[in-house]
Structure 1
Amino acid sequence: MELIKVVKKLERLLKEPLPGRLGHLTMLPQPIDEKRFSVREDHRKGAVLMLFYPDSHNSFVPFIKRPEYPGVHSGQIAFPGGKWEPSDRDLSVTALRESEEEIGVYAEKVTLLGKLSDVYIPPSNFLVSPYIGFISEKPDFKPEPKEVERIISCPFPVLLDKEIRKLTQVKGSSGPRFETPYFDIENEVVWGATAMMLGEFTYLWENSGF
């Protein structure tokens, strides 16, 4: 799908009420643990960027794969982003700054279209704001090696393909394994908070009526 068509639809969609929990629930393990939605008062804030860019006659979205490290998000697939800093005017600045640092996309070249619902991540105690934006040309990605093992550029039509929504067993941060829905993107398991964000996005896109 051409970028201009994606952007025009997103401009309309993001003015509508967001599905929020309805979309998040599509990518959460069953039965639902209600504690998943209890945000601690001492939570930290962060932001990520779902970025659309053109290549040939299609639109793409970049994901990052985190390196292996001693932490709860080791090796996971995510949108570029990170934690809010006091110098950030707001969380949209966080999303743009972190994306520039992690994948080399200059913040001033990104046009923000809006944001999805916040997602709480209990293991790391982060409340994350997912922003949506686009850039008018294919970026010259420069992954930050300490934070990004590799960049995965996913064609937008693939994200909308229901065949990539599957079930698998994962190991939780507390130890036990459990079954969870995920997005199969280039044979990587995209689950957890990133999958919840994608769940809301795809729910919004597929139930728009235009």
Structure 2
Amino acid sequence: MTDALSPAVPLRETQLLAIKEALEAHPRNMVEVPGRRQAGVLIMLFERDGEPWVVLTERTHTVSLHKGEISFPGGARDPGDEDLWATAVRESVEELGVDPNSLQQLGALDDYPTFSSGYIVSPFIAAVTPPEEWKASPAEIAHVIELPLKLLLDVGRMEVWEREGIRFPMHIFDADGYRVWGVTAFILRRFLDIVGPALEQRSSG
């Protein structure tokens, strides 16, 4: 966002409740595919100007996978991770310097396979007490991106792409000079479809 931003604060209890209730109404579909690695990502939410915002990252061009792409913080599961929530938190700490104690788990979305890198991605939703400044890892993160959910609800669209003669749908979000596509866009679209109506109803009620 180009203009000076208002301070970021934690989500209000009414927003937390709306998100948790919406997610609980859509039980997570877990996927297991032999030979595919597991990964966990965090959809981190906070409030600014009375509206919920989400944190995304632009990956550097020196990382091994998904160079320069927009993604949620997260990464591959390590053997020492207790579960995939622990994976998502650990990776977010490494990438953004997040304080684990500032995170409150609100729920999870369906698992999603990635076609280019061969992962099964498990997305978790978390409320975060935002720091004054993100401490992004320069080796992994080129930019930390903060976007209002209201904007993403407005700009999302579907395109039909073709690869190796196969046509397939692709969700696209163009916002603040960034393009979100691929599995991140599919996860974001699913999250907005579930949580967006609940937040709008709560704010108008």
TM-score normalised to structure 1 length: 0.78
RMSD: 2.9
Contact 1:54 1:60 in 2 (8 A): yes
Shift of 1:136: 3.2
The farther-off stretch of 195-204 and 3-12 is 3-12
Contact 2:39 2:87 in 1 (8 A): yes
Aligned residues: 189
Q: Deviations over 1:148-187 (max 9, x none)?
A: 01011112221222xx123568796x79998733011212
Matched residues, percent identical?
A: 30
Shift of 1:109: 1.3
Out of 178, 186, 190, the position equivalent to 2:180 is: 190
- Residue equivalent to 1:31: none
Q: Which has the higher contact order (CA 8 A, sep 6+)?
A: 1
- Residue equivalent to 2:11: 3
Rounded Cα–Cα distance in structure 2 between residues aligned with 1:89 and 1:19: 19
- Residue equivalent to 2:194: 204
Contact 2:28 2:111 in 1 (8 A): no
Q: 1:102 to 1:170 in 2, by over 3 A?
A: farther
The farther-off stretch of 52-61 and 129-138 is 52-61
Contact 1:55 1:138 in 2 (8 A): no
The alignment status of 1:143 with 2:154, answered yes or no, reads: no
- Residue equivalent to 2:127: 134
Shift of 1:140: 2.4
Contact 1:46 1:84 in 2 (8 A): yes
Q: Secondary structure at the match of 2:34?
A: coil
Unaligned runs of 5+ in 1: 21-36
Q: Deviations over 1:81-138 (max 9, x none)?
A: 0011111111101111111110111112101111111111021110010000012344
Q: What letter is aligned with 2:191?
A: F
Contact 2:159 2:172 in 1 (8 A): yes
Rounded Cα–Cα distance in structure 1 between residues aligned with 2:26 and 2:121: 19
- Residue equivalent to 1:85: 78
Rounded Cα–Cα distance in structure 2 between residues aligned with 1:155 and 1:166: 16
The farther-off stretch of 55-64 and 181-190 is 55-64
TM-score normalised to structure 2 length: 0.80
**1:100-119 equivalences in 2 (<5 Å):** 100-119=93-112
Unaligned runs of 5+ in 2: 1-9
Q: Secondary structure at the match of 2:141?
A: coil
Contact 1:19 1:200 in 2 (8 A): no
